[in-house]
Amino acid sequence: METLQGRLSIFVNGHARQVGATTTLGELAAECRLDPKRLLVELNGQTLLRDEWPGRRPAHGDRIEFVRVVAGG
């Protein structure tokens, strides 16, 4: 289900957001200025493999969590 003018309502890290119907998760991460090399992506509670998410498009109502991976001691 799409909203008006080809836009979708999704949730990104718990916040409602409108995106274009053709926006990919990779593009969304770039819009959020996140480094894909240091990123874990969950879609509706399921962790996506690194090669799965860059070209994947969210659907209306999807819940996306971008988690920054940080190494340290």
The string of pLDDT tens digits covering residues 4-40 is 578 999 999 999 999 999 999 999 999 999 998 889 9
Q: How far apart, in whole angstroms, are the C-alpha atoms of residue 39 and residue 60?
A: 22
> What is the reported pLDDT for 2?
47
Averaged pLDDT for residues 50-71: 92
Q: Has residue 1 got a pLDDT over 90? A: no
Neighbours of 18 (CB within 10 A): 12
| Whether pTM exceeds 0.75 | yes
Q: Single out the residue of 10, 1, 31, 6 nearest to residue 21, CA to CA.
A: 6
- Residues 4-68: name the CATH superfamily: Beta-grasp domain (3.10.20.30)
Averaged pLDDT for residues 49-54: 91
The residue ranges of every structural domain in the chain are 4-68
